[in-house]
Copies of this chain bind each other. A is one copy, B any other.
Amino acid sequence: MTDDQKEHEFEILFEAEGRSVGKMRSEITVTRPGMAVSYEMATDEGEFHGGDDTAPPPLAYFATGFTACLMTQIRAFSKRMNIPVNGCVVKGRYRWTGRQKGREPYVGSPGGFSFDIDLDSDASTEDQFRLIEAARKGCFIDQTLSVANDVGHRLKVGDDWVEV
């Protein structure tokens, strides 16, 4: 095994601190531990959901992040795999279902996610397929959704953090 084939692992960390503002607006500061970057973002809900519509809803951010994550990998791996791509248009479809009894809190569930990918490329169809396969395996969000994850929740009680 040459040095070029050595396997290595790397970690990606993001933190997001959200503060409630107004009825449904959330102001979020995203940071990356160990890196000197931060991003300010805001979400809100429409009037139907009790908000003031001052910013896009949370699911619009999710849809943007997921679609763009796949697009990043397509371009990053295009170079590494030597499968030239001049550009791409990706259309993501995101569906969820809510189930509710009367006015009780509803229960959400995923209803399907899919992408239509249009590559501007002279590469063979086979190579384009190989590129998409690699991109979905490299896309952190795609890989996250493809397995069942434990999401942890802790509540602050007095000075302690207690697992919910």
* A34 CB → nearest B CB, Å: 12
- Closest B residue, CB atoms, query A10: B98
Set B16, B60, B132: member contacting A63, Cβ < 8 A: B16
Set B56, B97, B110, B119: member contacting A149, Cβ < 8 A: B110
> For residues 1 through 58 of chain A, which have their beta carbon under 8 Å from a beta carbon of chain B?
2-20, 23-24, 26, 28, 30, 37, 39, 41, 43, 45-46, 49-51, 56-58
Per-position binary interface string of chain A over residues 122-164, scored 1 when its CB falls under 8 Å from any chain B CB and 0 otherwise:
0001001100111111111111111111111111110001101
Set B18, B56, B73, B111: member contacting A92, Cβ < 8 A: B18
Residues of B within 8 A of A154 (CB): 114-117
Residues of B within 8 A of A128 (CB): 155, 157
A148 in contact with B148 (CB, 8 Å)? yes
B145 in contact with A95 (CB, 8 Å)? no
Set B28, B91, B125: member contacting A64, Cβ < 8 A: B28
A62 in contact with B56 (CB, 8 Å)? no
A24 in contact with B75 (CB, 8 Å)? yes
Chain A to chain B: the 3 pairs with minimum beta-carbon distance, closest first = A61-B65, A114-B152, A62-B65
Interface residues, chain A, with chain B CB atoms under 8 Å away: 2-20, 23-24, 26, 28, 30, 37, 39, 41, 43, 45-46, 49-51, 56-69, 71-73, 75-77, 79-81, 87-119, 125, 128-129, 132-157, 161-162, 164
